[in-house]
Amino acid sequence: MTLRFHPLSTDIEPPVRFNDPFDYEPHQLCIMAASLVRAYIKKVGLHEEGKMLGVLVCRQCDGQLGFLAAYSGLLAGRNDWEWFVPPVFDAQQPDGHFKTTERAISSINAEVRVLSDSAVNGVLSSETAAQIQVLKQQRKQMSEELQLWLFRQYRMLNARGEEKDLVELWRDYHQSERIRRKYPLPPGGTGDCCAPKLLQYAYQQGLQPLCMAEFWQGESPRGEIRHEGHYYPACRGKCKPVLEWMLQGLDVETVPATRLDTDTLQPEILYEDSQIAVVVKPAGLLAVPGRTGEPSVAYLLRQRYPKAEGPLIVHRLDMDTSGLMVIALTNEAYHDLQRQFLERSVSKRYVALLQSSSCMSRLRSNPQGIISLPMLPDPLDRPRQVVDLEHGKQAVTRYELLSDALPHPRVALIPLTGRTHQLRVHCAHPDGLDCPILGDPLYGERAERLYLHAEQLSFRHPSTGETLTFSSPSPF
């Protein structure tokens, strides 16, 4: 116990309720614990290119305050570092069922390669082809059975002392038959992230969880965006079904649903006629209705134009982004504007403040340029996007340094394509500007708002063909 539970000597009061691991500001106790984890890693020389680490502040039955530490997956190729909590299930034992079966599957792979290499002039005999097919079927069956067996070994506890394995958790969480058919089992690696490991160990040892945080240590990977020392929410694809079970029995802080004052948070109408409306969307207002019924630009404009065919949303801004939008009021205008966006004849210009001056030397050397980083949604952590040079869709942004005033440089961003979160990713990624937009909770750090504003919009009027250009001064 002494190796896993690390006492904290402090006057800082713990929170009244456990934090929501998917939406939180790290408590001061977690920040203190994270600094001790970083110091330990530096002391013992556990360096990797980058790793997600986590801390769980908890209390022993005698009242002693302390914390547990964890790493996602393996650390320096191992899962048995004694200073950190152990894995929920250790699949790395050389003589265990998992590794033994893995070696058997590898032997089948080797046999398939040998048979495939026996082809004469690229042609296999019918007997050899049949052997390969049998081996591949055997390999597939063994792999599926091994994965199912492995998930059954992860028996996750909750605060009430109840237990379910990952297969049960996954099926209970996904009530939709369509989702169950498409994703019958959890993604690989489920149960090996920091948060499940921390809670599992705390429950096993009779500790009282108080608050938790996860943070990145080391360099950012080339695909997803992670910054040294930044705190991140638990991933949704792997962890949400698991944590919703494991948190049952804890008094968890709920993030209150946003209640927007629709009297003050209204889109400003800059232009309107029988075909279109051009509005300025305030930060914090959705473009289209969300899952929980919050007001949106579409909803509010429907009240203004009750007899129109629209309003029809042609393009979107993120909820936290402010600025210009063109709205179609007829089907004809909608299809015409949609074509213009698809043909990339619509011109948009944004202004943003960057989180810090860390990229100033890069920006001063190249005050304007092009960022081209193809992107895809992260299937395990939506709505987060990742950079994927092989499979991503083309995403191109032109940028220009407008002001190098410290501590937040101001840049203009002109998207030449229209991918989700394109500007936010292109600013934050190491191969982009390498500095998140100020207030970006997904790719940087929270602030009072996301400092991104669509300040200029130019397009052809659907009826007259006239080129219209609208401007909206930045509110920051």
As annotated, the active-site residues are: 318
Nearest to 411 by CA among 470, 471, 379, 453: 453
Contacting residues for 303 by C-beta, under 8 A, at least 6 apart: none
Taking the C-alpha atoms of residue 213 and residue 211, their distance in angstroms, rounded to an integer, is 7
For the record, the structure tokens of 218 come out as 């080391």
Taking the C-alpha atoms of residue 22 and residue 243, their distance in angstroms, rounded to an integer, is 10
Q: Between 194-204 and 236-246, two packed helices, what is the crossing angle to 10 degrees?
A: 20
Answer for the pair 79, 92: CB distance below 8 angstroms, yes or no. Answer: yes
Residue 321 burial (CB count, 10 A):
25
Taking the C-alpha atoms of residue 176 and residue 172, their distance in angstroms, rounded to an integer, is 10
| SS percent in the chain: helix, strand, coil, step 5 | 30, 25, 45
Find the length of the chain.
476
Taking the C-alpha atoms of residue 80 and residue 88, their distance in angstroms, rounded to an integer, is 11
Answer for the pair 159, 209: CB distance below 8 angstroms, yes or no. Answer: yes
Taking the C-alpha atoms of residue 49 and residue 219, their distance in angstroms, rounded to an integer, is 5
Answer for the pair 230, 76: CB distance below 8 angstroms, yes or no. Answer: no
For the record, the structure tokens of 268 come out as 């400003």
Backbone angles phi, psi at 98, to 5 degrees: -65, -50
Answer for the pair 29, 178: CB distance below 8 angstroms, yes or no. Answer: no
Taking the C-alpha atoms of residue 170 and residue 432, their distance in angstroms, rounded to an integer, is 37
